[in-house]
A and B are shown apart, each in its own frame.
Chain A
């Protein structure tokens, strides 16, 4: 499904601010894998997701999606394989456009856009049904500007947009981190439902160890631009936070010192 080989990326090379974010990352995902990704600040989690999405070109290495080498494919062309939700709820939707317009743009991801009506009539009914499954009351606000919605509602709409056209790979970059705990739980619940119902191959970054263990069938932990822990299946189901911290210390030779992770249950 996804095959990353020896991926390397250094930001600001040749300057005092040079920062190696990925140093020889290898990762292979199977079809239907739901992988949670954890790691301290600067471990390279978001960098990995941005590399897959094509925000910039890596310095070295290759990325293959479903056997297609996408390493040099521009971001907007690669988008046909990917669904993405960002940490910032403002980033995934167009605030000055209506909910149905946002959804209709997402429904045409990867198609050639033509000079025909942007939203067909039967589409609105379909969107209403989909929005109803979110249980946020958005099904009656189809023509409301997305900018009027709360962060949690926008994130839920972004999730719908990311999955409206079934993506080969869903990339979630701490998509609940900017939300209050109750809303975050709700958005996570919607995420899990969408991913399991559609059997989507998913990479989900989280700062919450509990969530990382509770969701998905595989867990990877990153440190200094590499994957240092990789557990899946039965082993992952039985994992505890204490064991996870132990695994990390063994693999990286240092303590997992990150308040955000330590404090979250």
Chain B
């Protein structure tokens, strides 16, 4: 019963984290870059949105501003990687660290900015889970449609090939460096956008929010793709799967809390979920691979004898 009460909240928050996971999907799955910027850029999105809303800016403008701030963070990571030759994983870590200072500055030096109980009109909020689910659902549907259209344009296809085969991309005249920067900007823009929705949902932005977001994003991707790849391995189904993965993740999360696990251990739980999803295919192949013979029709001794006669 308690669990059912917690379900709408889990779905609403799961949708928002699912949207963030779509941002991670673009860097991790399409560009083939494990981009650690997201731990910082989701918090940037939350901070920008919280500060703007608190100062009276309409919620939808705050959310767009958060998108741009996230995209800028992605550009920084992209340039560190492509223009300065820093390995992508390190470029992400550097950006993430820079963003901690940036986020503090956005919050005006405070570690928490709260706008709960104020007279702000928000797009979604914890106090009304059902309408939050509807609003988040519509926004996500719109973003999936835009991404779906984008990735079938001339530019979008080159973004896919950049991650899939950079050698082939250069051979076909594609500016791989530019594409990586562009992809990271889109990815982190979406992550910060999700952060802005999350800040509204929670009614606050905390400097420590978003730590471990990359792991939650990956968990949502693995959970989602494990199902969607079995249904139809195309782009839109994958994105919907990732959203579903976010929801499933938050339902598990809430369920575990209800079972009485201390919230202190939840980051450990997230990491274990991702480790399991990454390890299972490897373990299956490495330790449990069974030898399977191809079925060959047995040859009877009579046939062998007949063959022998023919030769004789």
List chain A positions with a Cβ less than 8 A from chain B.
Answer: 53, 75-77, 79-80, 82, 84, 86, 91-97, 101-102, 104-106, 108-111, 113-119, 161
Contacts and interface: CB of A to CB of B under 8 A. Distances in A.
Interface in B173-218: 173-176
B153 A114 contact: yes
Contacts of B153: 114-118
A119 B158 CA distance: 12
B167 interface: yes
B155 A76 contact: no
Given A79-B171, A95-B165, A113 B155 contact: yes
A118 B164 contact: no
A97 B152 CA distance: 11
A114 B174 contact: no
A108 B157 CA distance: 11
B173 A118 contact: no
B81 interface: no
B267 interface: no
A92 to B, nearest CB: 6
B177 to A, nearest CB: 9
A105 B167 CA distance: 13
12 contacts: A79-B171, A82-B171, A94-B168, A94-B169, A101-B161, A102-B161, A104-B157, A108-B172, A109-B173, A117-B152, A118-B153, A119-B152
Contacts of A76: 169-170, 173-176
Given A94-B160, A104-B157, A105-B157, A79 B172 contact: yes
A93 B155 contact: no
B58 interface: no
Given A76-B175, A110-B173, A101 B157 contact: yes
A207 B146 CA distance: 49
Nearest to B30: A96
A53 B167 CA distance: 12
Contacts of A95: 164-165
A74 to B, nearest CB: 8
B172 A161 contact: yes
Nearest to B161: A94
Given A93-B165, A97-B161, 14 more contacts: A79-B172, A91-B165, A92-B167, A94-B168, A95-B164, A96-B160, A96-B164, A102-B168, A108-B154, A109-B173, A113-B158, A117-B152, A117-B154, A118-B156
